[in-house]
Amino acid sequence: MAALTLRTPPRQLAPHRTGARTLTIPTAKRPLVYRGTSLVMGILNVTPDSFSDGGRYLDVSAAVARGVAMAQQGADVLDIGGESTRPGAAAVSAAEELDRVVPVIEQLTKAVRIPLSVDTAKAAVADAALRAGASLINDVTALQGDPQMARVACQSHAAVILMHMRGTPRTMQRHPRYRDVIGEVLAFLREAAGRAQQAGIDRRRIIIDPGLGFGKTVAHNLQLMAALDRFVGAKYPVLIGPSRKSFIGKTLRTEVGERLAGTLACVGAAHLAGAHMVRVHDVQETVHYLKMADAIRRQY
């Protein structure tokens, strides 16, 4: 029988190997400060049809209570969205989106002390949300969906999250193909960030997001997760949004409500790669995971 040789791993971990140890992201109000641990963005969908929690927080009071709860659980920022971007989702009017998000933002601004983000591709919605108290714009079209969005972001001094998406929510999952998914997504985000800067948006306020699940197969999403250090190496703050996504469900063969463990595995990979922010539904579990990971890391 062959002898079994155990190799003792080096006594070190390799998190944040390409990213800065600390980074301040200015927003329209309070800055976000990354100190080597991924910031946690809590998802608050005020929609009837989001893939995971659609309809749960349509009522303003329910949405505000959920936002307050996530802030108490340790969220660093809340992301409020009034239009579903799940695969196949139908578009809604600006008026309807405004009716959903603005009252929630107005109340949350008074109820929590953390920054608020508005998840929208419409300049009119972003403008109203910022006036109501939001500090960031999370745009799944990377400022390409509305020609006025860059102007709104620039004038308000909001931070902007630029996400990669191939197609639209209605078409993005129809046979997505890439020659080099990592290279193409990274090139798109660099170009989008360059356009934002040309429009007058301060580089420090630009966050990039590879767009897990937005025009990608399971293999594409896993490849992007494995190469997050390349995105961090682009020298922009990086947000990653794996929470309860279908690629986790297909990998683990689990339904939406059973994807917490898979989500936390992605959070761990993002944290080790130096990603600056993770966007999740399960805030308390994510905060606890990151705190435990850091407690272990400090012993090395």
What number of residues does the chain have? 300
Range of the domain at 153: 32-297
Encoded tokens for 218 = 């399971």
Which of the four pLDDT bands, split at 50, 70 and 90, describes residue 294? Answer: very high
* 265: CATH: 3.20.20.20
For residue 20, is it within any domain? no
For residue 150, is it within any domain? yes
For residue 24, is it within any domain? no
Encoded tokens for 158 = 């909001």
Q: Average pLDDT in the 84-105 region? A: 86
Asked if residue 274 lies in contact with residue 16, where contact means CB atoms within 8 angstroms, the answer is: yes
User: How many other C-beta atoms lie within 10 A of the C-beta of residue 48?
Assistant: 12
b/e map 162-198, b = 16+ CB within 10 Å: bbbbbebbeebbeeeebeebbeebbebbbebbeebee
For residue 13, is it within any domain? no
Mean pLDDT of the chain: 90
Gap between the terminal Cα atoms of the chain: 36
Pairing label, strands 77-81, 159-163: unpaired
For residue 3, is it within any domain? no
pLDDT in tens, 39-94: 999 999 998 755 555 557 778 999 999 999 999 999 999 999 999 876 766 778 99
The pLDDT value given to residue 58: 75
More confident residue, 168 or 91: 91
For residue 18, is it within any domain? no
For residue 280, is it within any domain? yes
Distance CA 99, CA 41 (A): 23
pLDDT in tens, 214-267: 999 999 999 999 999 999 999 999 999 999 999 999 999 999 999 999 999 999
Percent of the chain scoring above 90 in pLDDT: 80
The pLDDT value given to residue 14: 42
Q: What is the pTM of this model?
A: 0.90
Asked if residue 210 lies in contact with residue 189, where contact means CB atoms within 8 angstroms, the answer is: yes
3-state secondary structure at position 261: helix
- Which has the closest alpha carbon to 288: 270, 272, 266, 264? 264
Distance CA 70, CA 43 (A): 9
Concatenating the DSSP letter of every residue in 115-159 gives: -EEEE-S-HHHHHHHHHHT--EEEETTTT-S-TTHHHHHHHHT-E
Q: Average pLDDT in the 283-297 region? A: 96
For residue 12, is it within any domain? no
**Active centre residues (catalytic):** 245, 279
> Number of folded domains in the chain?
1
